[in-house]
Amino acid sequence: MSGFFENYGFLIVTIVQQALLGLSIYFPLMAGQLSLASIGFYSLGGYVAAIMGTHPALAPLREALGFWMFPLEWLGALVLSVILGIAVGYPALRLRGIYLALATVAFVQVVNVAVLNMPIAGGAVGIFGIPQAFESRLDYIWFFGPLFFFALFLVWRIGNMGRGLAFFAVREDELAAGAMGVATTGNKVTAFVLGCALAGVTGAMSAPFLNTWNARQGTFDASVTCLAYVLIGGSRSIWGPLCGAALLVSLPELLRPLKDSRMILNGVVLVAACVYLPQGIMGGLAALRARLSGRGGAA
């Protein structure tokens, strides 16, 4: 058992960390908004933590707070993400569908270029030697795990309380939602900002976890990977992002014995998932369950 965790512990923590990013895309999707901005907020949240964790001017604060410096970093990332999320959300969410997705990709690029040119962010090399919260990387599950369950709780609760219906109404038909008194813009921005905040805090937890932080954390590739977690896992189930992250993070590792051909097989699995499971893994499972119970009822 201990051998298992030594071998796969890092992988498991990474899966949860990536699933958090998947969930951050899931929030705006609840209100029907396809946003790829998460990675930008993840990157910024990481920089907030990296700067707060290493900047010489903050040394007395770190000394005084000790471990509590980490929650303070999360708070910093949270506040920045919410403010920036509102500022970006209001204009961006006037766009729909693919145009919104493109605008949020542009936002990620702007963040990238901006941090590359900010001396405080360490330029292209980024920030090194970020203080660790735990001795073992595995212990970071104590950061990501509770955040993941909190985010799952939020998604579940929003889906089950009356107030959450406003999000789904906007997703189903924005015009009709407005005619039924739902504040469409406000709900879209709220769902978007929830996703931004989650991505930002995840970034702030990830900076110490990864030890270094640089502009490569916030690339277009990473945005698309996050979206793939949701699409492959299933965009209508709260477990979809976790499923997708588990598959996409672990697949290259599990296929490692295949050496060079593993990336080909990796790609084949992804294409097959898209073709045969258009509703994602969770959607496929739901369909399977429906079919099995239907057969059981007929027998």
Partner 1 sequence: MSALLQATDLRRRFGGLMAVCDVSIEVRPGEIMGLIGPNGAGKTTFFNLLTGMTRADSGTVVFDGHDVTRARPEAIARLGLARTFQNIRLFGGLTLMDNVRVAGRVQARHGLLSGLCFTPGSRREDEAVTEEAYGLLRLVGLEDRADHLAASLPYGDRRRLEIARALALTPKLLLLDEPAAGLNPSEKLGLADFIRDIKERFDLTVLLIEHNVPMVMGLCDRVMVLNFGQTIAVGAPEDVQRDPGVIEAYLGGDAHGAA
Region of 50-58, 71-79, 113-121, 176-184 interacting with partner 1 (CB under 8 A): 176-184
According to CB under 8 A, which one of 96, 117, 173, 267 is a site residue for partner 1?
173
State CA 230 to chain mean position distance.
9
Which residue's CB is nearer to partner 1, number 165 or number 270? 165
Would you state the structure tokens that stand for residue 87, as one six-digit string?
Answer: 């500022």
**Minimum distance from CB of 156 to partner 1 (Å)?**
11
Q: How far apart are CA 144 and CA 150, in angstroms?
A: 10
68 or 156: CB nearest partner 1: 156
- Comparing CB distances to partner 1, the nearer of 218 and 240 is 240
297 binds partner 1 (CB under 8 A): no
Q: Is 176 among the residues that bind partner 1 (CB under 8 A)? A: yes
Tokens of 292: 């099995």
Burial class of 289 by CB neighbour count within 10 A (0 to 12, 13 to 18, 19+): exposed
162 near partner 1, judged by CB under 8 A:
yes
Nearer to partner 1, 90 or 134 (CB): 90
The verdict on 157 binding partner 1 (CB under 8 A) reads yes
Q: Print the binding letters for residues 195-214 with partner 1: x by CB under 8 A, - otherwise.
A: --------------------
Total binding residues for partner 1 by CB under 8 A? Answer: 25
Rounded to whole angstroms, the Cα distance separating 17 from 5 reads 16
Q: Angle at CA 210, nearest 5°, toward 207 and 212?
A: 70
Binding of partner 1 by 163 (CB under 8 A)? yes
- Strand boundaries in 7-132, DSSP class E: none
Residues binding partner 1 (CB under 8 A): 154, 157-158, 161-166, 168-169, 171-173, 175-184, 190
